[in-house]
């Protein structure tokens, strides 16, 4: 029973407890498919071993149990039987080879970054408790939502600005540690358009479990459009409507830009807000509406304990926060959004 509940727990972990495309069991990209095939292969091989061992075990238990009138009976001893010993040495070797060969091939294949030069490269930075994305050579910086084109390998060069995190989008690829000292590189490839949820998979502080992000895979045409739109952003563009305009002024007056950025500025103390209005979550976890933006601005500690915004946030009234929220919601530079990708 214990083994059964453990298996159940494992299945729950692998299926990601409900969030769409947060499961390693429905692969939607090359890396995840490769891992999934290996999971199935090893599970089948191990199940056969388990079955054979169980049958032998139960047979021996039943056949050679103590019987009435035969208390001192000792069955035929097979110690030193060359044929038997050869069989139970060769079979495990063959089984291990069946598992090891594809695993080794996959390991080298998934770690292969030779083709990276000609492809899209994104610098990924893990921060307590959000993700930053810098599209190399494209003058695009974003946070939380990583837009990629379908059908192409996208290389991720990953580092952390503080502690060790782990980048995991289960339906697209395996995990990769994100370390402060060294850069790790992996690639992802999405077969279909869609929104793929990701999680930080390394305990990194009180809000580790809230360090969610998304990969938004769109068609190559839509991706080009998105790149164009993002590159065309004017960080100083004046907001529309009175409250949003006031919000924009407050945003500048209160020095929000000393930590955040709009456009391609490399500032990344806090998340880049270029496409804030296009996101589907506030702070990666709350529904994307004005109420929650205000809640986040006024009391970030209640949403994500231990985050940097908590101690740095300027004195604001609810009304001021509401105006800033109006402004931030207008930051939606592209029609290529999560919705168009199917979230």
- Report the interface residues with ligand CUA, using CB under 6 A: 126, 129, 165, 200, 202-204, 208, 211
CB atoms within 10 A of CB 109: 12
Of residues 131 and 327, the one with the C-beta less far from ligand CUA: 131
Instruction: Give the shortest CB-125-to-ligand CUA separation in angstroms.
Output: 11
Of 226, 230, 229, the closest CA to residue 217 belongs to 226
Look at residue 123 and give its three-state secondary structure: strand
State in angstroms the smallest separation of the CB of 210 from ligand CUA: 9
Minimum CB separation of residue 305 from ligand CUA in Å reads: 13
Nearer to ligand CUA, 15 or 209 (CB): 209
Q: Give min distance, CB of 208 to ligand CUA, in A.
A: 3
Q: For ligand CUA, which is the closer residue by CB, 200 or 218?
A: 200
Residue 53 or 203 with smaller CB distance to ligand CUA = 203
The C-alpha torsion from 130 through 133 and 134 to 139, rounded to 10°, is -110
Choice between 99 and 163, CB closer to ligand CUA: 163
Question: Do residues 129 and 208 touch, judged by C-beta distance below 8 A?
Answer: yes
Beta strands in 161-318 (DSSP E): 165-168, 176-178, 184-188, 194-200, 213-218, 281-282, 286-287
How many Cβ atoms are within 10 Å of 221's Cβ, its own excluded? 10
What is the Cα–Cα distance from 107 to 91, expressed in whole angstroms?
24
Report the nearest approach of ligand CUA to the CB of residue 62 (Å).
Answer: 51
- How far is residue 335's CA from residue 311's CA, in Å, rounded to a whole number? 35
Q: In terms of CB distance, is 129 or 196 closer to ligand CUA?
A: 129
Give every CB contact of residue 59 below 8 A, 6+ residues apart in sequence: none
Shortest distance, position 167 Cβ to ligand CUA, whole Å: 9
Nearest CB to ligand CUA, comparing residues 125 and 330: 125
- CA-to-CA distance for 60 and 338, rounded, in angstroms? 60
Residue among 23 and 127 whose Cβ is closer to ligand CUA: 127
Nearest to 200 by CA among 141, 272, 125, 260: 125
What is the C-alpha separation between 272 and 145, in angstroms, rounded? 11
The least CB distance from residue 129 to ligand CUA, in Å, is 6
What is the closest distance, in whole angstroms, from the C-beta atom of residue 201 to ligand CUA in the complex?
7
For the CA atoms of 136, 137, 139, 144, the dihedral, rounded to the nearest 10 degrees, stands at: -20
């Amino acid at each position: 029973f214990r083994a059964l509940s453990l298996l159940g727990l494992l299945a729950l972990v692998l299926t990601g407890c409900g969030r769409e495309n947060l499961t390693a069991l429905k692969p939607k990209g090359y890396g995840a498919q490769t891992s999934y095939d290996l999971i199935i292969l090893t599970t089948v091989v191990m199940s056969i071993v388990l079955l054979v061992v169980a049958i032998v075990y139960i047979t021996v238990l039943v056949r050679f149990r103590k019987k009435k009138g035969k208390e001192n009976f000792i069955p035929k001893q097979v110690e030193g039987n060359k044929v038997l010993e050869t069989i139970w040495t060769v079979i495990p070797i063959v089984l291990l080879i069946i598992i090891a060969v594809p695993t080794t091939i996959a390991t080298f294949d998934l770690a292969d970054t030779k083709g990276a030069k000609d492809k899209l490269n994104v610098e990924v930075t893990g921060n307590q408790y959000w993700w930053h994305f810098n599209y190399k050579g494209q003058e695009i910086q974003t946070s939380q939502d990583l837009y990629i084109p379908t059908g192409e390998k996208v290389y991720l060069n990953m580092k952390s600005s503080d502690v060790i995190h782990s980048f995991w989008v289960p339906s697209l690829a395996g995990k990769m540690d994100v370390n402060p000292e060294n850069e790790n590189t992996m690639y992802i490839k999405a077969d279909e358009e869609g929104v793929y949820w990701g999680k930080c998979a390394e305990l990194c502080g009180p809000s580790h479990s809230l360090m969610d992000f998304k990969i938004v895979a769109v068609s190559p045409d839509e991706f080009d459009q998105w790149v164009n739109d993002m590159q065309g952003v004017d960080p100083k563009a004046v907001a529309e409507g009175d409250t949003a305009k006031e919000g924009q002024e407050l945003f500048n007056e209160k020095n929000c830009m000393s930590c955040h950025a709009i456009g391609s500025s490399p500032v990344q103390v806090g998340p880049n807000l270029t496409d804030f209005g296009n996101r589907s979550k506030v702070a990666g976890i709350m529904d994307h509406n004005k109420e929650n933006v205000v809640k986040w601005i006024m009391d970030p500690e209640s949403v994500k304990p231990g985050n940097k915004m908590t101690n740095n946030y300027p004195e604001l009234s609810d009304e001021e926060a509401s105006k800033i929220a109006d402004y931030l919601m207008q930051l939606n530079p592209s029609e290529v959004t999560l919705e168009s990708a199917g979230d």
